[in-house]
Structure 1
Amino acid sequence: MTRSTATPTISVIIPVYNGGEAFRRCLSSLAKASPQPLEVIVVADGDTDGSGQFAQDFGAKVIQVPTSGGPAKARNLGAKAASGDILFFVDADVEVHDKGLAEK
C-alpha cells in the first residue's frame, strides 16, 4: 500500500446555540488559521440570536436545526455533511490558534 503525500483536507464542525460574541471570535480565529480548512460547517442548534445567519455571512456552510437537540446531535449532523479527510470539531466558544490546523 502506498501512502499519499497530498495534504489532507480539513472540515471544521461547530455546533452553536446562541453563541454571541464568543462565537464571533471563534469564526474570526478560523479566518486566520493556516492552513485554511476546506470548509467550516456550523450547525445552528435552535439558536435565537442570529448565530446561524452570522455564520452564513462569514461564509460557513450552515445547517439550521429548528429546536435544540444538544451538541452531540449537532456534531453528528455536521459530520454527515462534511467532505474533508479530517473532521475537526470546535466548540462555539473556542478560539483556534492560527497554527491550530497545521499537521505538526
Structure 2
Amino acid sequence: MSVTQALLAPMLATGSPRPLITHYDDATGARVELSRATVANWAAKTANWLVDELDLEPGTPVSVALPAHWQTLGVLLGSWWCGAHVVDDPAGAEVAFVPAAAPESGAG
C-alpha cells in the first residue's frame, strides 16, 4: 500500500464527499474547496499519467518545485501513490514539475 493510499483510505471510508482542502488564491481572490474523493481522484489521475505516459517505476526520482496550490497536492499525492521518490532538486530527476512561468527551473 502506498503512502497516498494509506493516508486517503480511512478518510474515503468515513466520508468521501466531506471537504479535505480549501485553497485561497490571494492574487485572484479565487477559492477552491476539494472533497476527499476529488483529491483522491486527482492523485489517482496523476499516478496513472506518470506510469502510463512516462513509464515511471517505483523509486524513480520526481522533482516537485511547485508553489503552494491545490494542484500541488494532487501532484505530490499522485507521485507518492505510484511509488516515486519525490525530491526538490531537478538534478537527476526523470520528471520535474515546475511552475509554467519558469520552465527552465526544471532543467537539471
TM-score, length of structure 1 as denominator length: 0.30
Q: Which has the higher helix share?
A: 2
Decide which structure has the larger Cα Rg and report it: 2
Structure of higher RCO (CA pairs closer than 8 Å, 6+ residues apart) = 1
